[in-house]
Amino acid sequence: MKKQVTEETKKILLDGGFEYEVKLMREAIAMYMERNLDLYLSAFLLHLRNLYEFFYGSKKDYYAHAGHYIKSWESRTATKEIKRWNTQINNFLSHLSYARVLEVYDYYPVTMLYIHYRGLVIDFLGELPEEYMTQKLKDLLESLKYEVEINKNMEKKEMRCVECKRIIDTKKDKWVGLTGDYWHTECIREEVRKEGLKQEVSDNSK
Ligand SMILES: [Zn+2]
């Protein structure tokens, strides 16, 4: 028999489990930017998937959901794009699915995904009723907003695709960024087919 979820349970979960998910997602992407290891990518994606469940998942009672805290978040749905990447995480990381053989694996647009989930966390914490807002969560919100400001300054610089040299439009293009170099996902995929760049990318990041 499952134990009862109370207001206190919900409060502790946000300050504990939720904050931990966001923290680990950030640590993993920071490490991945430094060293292009699958280990860091896997950690990043797994924590991202937990946040997907929290923000967009089916509202099973025993799984925490943003809608349990803020009514209007019950009806939020992921875009087709975000759903698609979550499906890939399910098939290629969380489960040993035959999809790994039968479906095509695409390069994750890690930076775009991170920015998306970071935005969700900022919006959610910004709207969170005061009674849930612990010091730890206040600090987290502060730190995320600060990070956005820093990124804005960086974005003023042109980001050119290493492969095709076109300027990357961060709002429109799907892109990946590794250690200050940026690729369109189409460009990097093309290169992976040629089997050259994957090695080069990991060499670059050392
Ligand atoms: Zn390109």
According to the model, what pLDDT value does residue 190 have?
61
pLDDT at residue 201 greater than cutoff 50: no
For residue 188, report the distance from its CA to the centre of ligand 1, in Å: 7
Say what the pLDDT of residue 149 is: 83
How confident is residue 174, by pLDDT bands cut at 50, 70 and 90? confident
Instruction: Please give the model's pTM, rounded to 2 decimal places.
Output: 0.79
**Boundaries of every domain in the chain:** 7-156, 158-206
Span from the CA of 196 to the centroid of ligand 1 (angstroms): 16
Enclosing H/E stretch for 184? strand 181-184
Most confident of 104-113, 162-171, 197-206: 104-113
Q: Which residues contact 55 (CB under 8 A, 6 or more apart)?
A: 65, 66, 73, 76, 78, 117, 120, 124
Q: What is the pLDDT of residue 20?
A: 97
**Model confidence pLDDT, tens digit, residues 48-57:** 999 999 999 9
Greater model confidence, 45 or 147: 45
Local confidence band at 187 (pLDDT 50, 70, 90 cut-offs): confident
Ligand 1 centroid–CA 105 distance in Å is 19
- Do 108 and 48 form a contact (C-beta atoms < 8 A)? no
DSSP state of 57: S
- Distance, CA 159 to ligand 1 centroid (Å)? 10
